[in-house]
Amino acid sequence: MDPIAVNIREACRVSGLTRTRIFGEIRNGALEAKRAGKHTLVLYASLKALVQSLPPAGSKSGRGAA
C-alpha cells in the first residue's frame, strides 16, 4: 500500500529527483504538496504521476536537446 504523503527527503529518494527539482515542481503546480507545521509533505499520488509523465530515457525532448 502506498503512503498518502512523503516528506521532501523521501520524495527525493523514491523519485530520484533533486530537492531543487521537487521544490520547483511544487512551485509551478506540477506537484501537489501540503504543509504540516514546518514540514512539507508531497502527496504520493502526485509524485508518482509526475515521474510517470517524464519523457522516456534517451528521448530528445529532454534537457540538452538540439
Q: Tens of pLDDT along 15-29?
A: 999 999 999 999 999
Residue keyed to cell 517524464? 54
Confirm whether pTM is higher than 0.75. yes
Q: Residue 59 — very low, low, confident or very high, per pLDDT cuts 50/70/90?
A: confident
Query: What pLDDT does 62 receive?
Result: 58
Smallest CA-to-CA distance from 47 within 11, 7, 18 is with 11
Specify the range with the lowest mean pLDDT, choosing from 29-38, 40-49, 52-61.
52-61
Cα distance between residue 40 and residue 26, in whole Å: 10
Phi, psi of 37 (to 5 degrees): 65, -125
Query: Quick check: 5 pLDDT over 60?
Result: yes
